[in-house]
């Protein structure tokens, strides 16, 4: 019996020692906090947060900076506030807006209502805009996202922000909020259409139905270009410039953004378009 108690006592001391050691002796590894979920709760958002959301959409999901950048594919928008009234008063203005917020909204959902001089589709004498509507197609912003971008444009344009924060924020049916978590690697896309939507290829290219025309029509590219050419066109777009088009238009960071599997999906798809 005494021996049994001695064994128990020994065990308790040993366990006590190890648990004390593991509590105090081993440096604790604090697990990284779980990634913060992107929360768009507009009910508690103030205007600064709302314009910041617009900034994020402008530079991300909206793909606006594909064209609105210092390369001159599209007008810079920091002067948009100064210019908007003059656009409305211009005889070439063909829209229905009556104030600056209205003009900006129309610029996004019906870009051809006013085409900034020199930026129209080739051959249309500045009557048709090459900018895709933000309502559907390759950009597809929801109404609250659109409002946030408008607030952002008013803000950077030095205007008074007149856009109101929408109060009804129930996510629209069939349209899950797709705000990616910046900490996590994004899941890989597995088909060309999803890739094209994500990287806005059709904002600039015609591929089948959707018509962009800042870049060459790709509907039959596989008939004239081989896989190596297409792969190079994606990874190093300024190496060969398609005839009749300018350099520095096609995004040059696809190589950093695409997974290898995705690059091959694109090359496969494009090379069989004949
Ligand atoms: C595929 C290229 C392209 C993309 C993508 C694009 N735009 Fe444009 N945008 C243009 C071009 C070209 C013009 C000038 C022609 C015109 O007036 O429509 C323009 C014009 C505008 C104007 C009117 C400027 C003025 O001075 O009157 C606004 C505002 C604007 N874009 C905002 C946006 C926003 C916001 C986004 C993203 C949600 C966006 N654009 C995405 C090409 C693009
Ligand atoms: C902002 C506009 C823009 C976007 C967005 C864009 N491109 Fe382009 N792309 C161009 C222009 C302009 C050219 C022609 C100049 C050149 O060859 O670099 C071009 C050239 C190409 C070519 C070579 C065509 C040839 O015959 O030489 C391919 C292939 C191509 N793009 C595929 C894509 C794909 C796929 C995407 C989406 C991941 C994409 N592009 C996104 C503007 C764009």
**Residue 159 vs residues 100, 181, 197, 203: alpha-carbon distances, Å:** 9, 31, 32, 28
Residue 168's pLDDT is: 64
d(CA 76, ligand 1 centre) in Å = 9
Residue nearest to atom 25 of ligand 1 (CA): 80
Ligand 1 atom nearest to CA at 83? 26
Cα separation, 187 vs 189, whole angstroms: 7
Cα separation, 109 vs 107, whole angstroms: 6
Residue 150's pLDDT is: 95
Token digits for 158?
């030095």
Name all residues whose Cβ lies below 6 A of ligand 1.
58, 62-64, 66-68, 74-75, 77, 80, 83, 87, 104, 107-108, 111, 114-116, 119, 129-132, 134, 139, 149, 153, 203-204, 214
Residue nearest to atom 23 of ligand 2 (CA): 233
Tell me the domains of the chain and their CATH numbers: 46-167 (1.10.760.10), 186-274 (1.10.760.10)
Ramachandran area for residue 26 (φ above 0: left; ψ -120 to 50: alpha; else beta): beta
Residue nearest to atom 39 of ligand 1 (CA): 64
Which of 64, 89, 122 for mutating ligand 1's site (highest number of atoms within 8 Å of CB)?
Answer: 64
Torsion angle of C-alpha atoms 46, 47, 53, 58, degrees rounded to 10: 180
Ligand 1 atom nearest to CA at 212? 1
Residue 240's pLDDT is: 86
Cα separation, 208 vs 196, whole angstroms: 12
Q: Between 143-156 and 47-59, two packed helices, what is the crossing angle to 10 degrees? A: 100
Cα separation, 81 vs 87, whole angstroms: 10
Cα separation, 256 vs 16, whole angstroms: 53
Residue 1's pLDDT is: 62
Residue 161's pLDDT is: 92
If you search the block for the tokens 């913060």, which residue do you land on? 36
Task: Give per-10-residue mean pLDDT for the chain (274 aa).
Answer: 63 57 49 50 83 92 88 86 90 93 94 92 88 82 92 91 78 46 78 89 84 87 94 90 84 87 94 94
Ramachandran area for residue 48 (φ above 0: left; ψ -120 to 50: alpha; else beta): alpha
Residue 103's pLDDT is: 95
φ, ψ at 210 (rounded to 5°): -70, 140
If you search the block for the tokens 């344009």, which residue do you land on? 157
Residue 114's pLDDT is: 94
Query: Are 154 and 163 a contacting pair, CB within 8 Å?
Result: yes
Burial 94-107 (b: 16+ CB within 10 A, else e): ebebeebbbbbbbb
Which of 75, 131, 144, 206 for mutating ligand 1's site (highest number of atoms within 8 Å of CB)?
Answer: 131
Token digits for 174?
């069939």
Cα separation, 256 vs 239, whole angstroms: 17
Which of 119, 232, 250, 263 for mutating ligand 2's site (highest number of atoms within 8 Å of CB)?
Answer: 250
Residue 37's pLDDT is: 44
| pTM of the predicted protein model | 0.71
Ligand 1 atom nearest to CA at 112? 18
Residue nearest to atom 37 of ligand 2 (CA): 201
Q: What DSSP line would sit under 96-116, residue for residue?
A: ---SHHHHHHHHHH-GGGS--
Ligand 1 atom nearest to CA at 139? 38
């Amino acid at each position: 019996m005494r021996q049994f108690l001695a064994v128990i006592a020994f065990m308790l001391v040993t366990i006590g020692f190890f648990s004390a050691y593991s509590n105090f002796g081993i440096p604790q590894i604090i697990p990284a906090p779980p990634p913060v979920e992107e929360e768009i709760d507009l009910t508690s958002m103030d205007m600064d947060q709302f314009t910041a959301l617009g900034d994020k959409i402008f530079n991300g999901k909206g793909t606006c900076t594909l064209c609105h950048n210092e390369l001159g594919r599209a007008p810079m928008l920091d002067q948009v506030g100064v210019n908007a009234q003059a656009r409305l008063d211009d005889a070439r203005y063909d829209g229905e807006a009556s104030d600056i917020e209205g003009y900006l909204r129309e610029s996004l959902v019906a870009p051809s209502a006013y085409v900034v001089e020199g930026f129209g589709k080739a051959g249309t004498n500045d009557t048709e805009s090459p900018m895709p509507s933000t309502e559907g197609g390759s950009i597809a912003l929801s109404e609250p996202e659109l409002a946030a971008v408008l607030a952002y444009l008013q803000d950077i344009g030095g205007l008074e922000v007149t856009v109101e924060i929408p109060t009804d924020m129930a996510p629209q049916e069939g349209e899950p909020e797709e705000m990616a978590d910046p900490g996590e690697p994004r899941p890989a896309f597995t088909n060309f259409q999803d890739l094209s939507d994500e990287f806005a290829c059709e904002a600039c290219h015609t591929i089948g139905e959707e018509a962009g025309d800042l870049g060459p029509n790709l509907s039959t590219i596989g008939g004239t270009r081989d896989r190596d050419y297409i792969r190079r066109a994606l990874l190093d777009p300024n190496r060969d410039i398609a005839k009749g088009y300018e350099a520095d238009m096609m995004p040059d960071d696809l190589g950093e953004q695409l997974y290898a599997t995705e690059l091959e999906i694109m090359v496969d798809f494009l090379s069989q378009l004949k």
